[in-house]
């Protein structure tokens, strides 16, 4: 693992989509993306680099040490 790779990332999911932070998408951009979708969403801290594969069950990453950061209502809410 390169020293530039963060050992964690954030994962957000709604009824319509999911996305993570990446090298080019920071947490602010992830939240902006989810808000733009217009659906309520959950946000998680995942203690793994963003390029590591893991299972997802019922829209939740299946990772040891996962932290649920909360359920957020989209400001321009459409559904969900």
Instruction: Band the pLDDT of 6: cuts 50, 70, 90.
Output: confident
- Lowest model confidence (mean pLDDT) among 3-7, 12-16, 21-25: 3-7
Q: Give the containing element (helix H, strand E) for 35.
A: helix 27-37
In angstroms, the CA 63 to CA 35 distance is: 25
Q: What is the pLDDT of residue 1?
A: 46
Q: Would residue 8 be called left, alpha or beta, if left means φ above 0 and alpha means ψ between -120 and 50 degrees?
A: beta
Q: Where are the domains of the chain?
A: 9-72
pLDDT per position as a tens digit, 24-72: 999 999 999 999 999 999 999 999 999 999 999 999 999 999 999 999 9
Q: What is the pLDDT of residue 10?
A: 98
Q: What is the DSSP letter of 79?
A: B
pTM confidence score: 0.87
**Whether pLDDT at 74 is above 70:** yes
Q: Give the containing element (helix H, strand E) for 69.
A: strand 67-72
């Amino acid at each position: 693992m390169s020293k530039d790779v963060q050992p964690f990332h954030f994962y957000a999911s709604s009824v319509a989509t999911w996305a993570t932070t990446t090298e080019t998408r920071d947490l602010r951009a992830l939240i902006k993306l989810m808000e733009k979708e217009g659906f309520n969403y959950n946000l998680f801290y995942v203690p793994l680099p963003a390029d590591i594969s893991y299972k997802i069950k019922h829209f939740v990453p299946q990772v040891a040490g996962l932290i649920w950061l909360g359920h957020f209502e989209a400001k321009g809410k459409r559904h969900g």
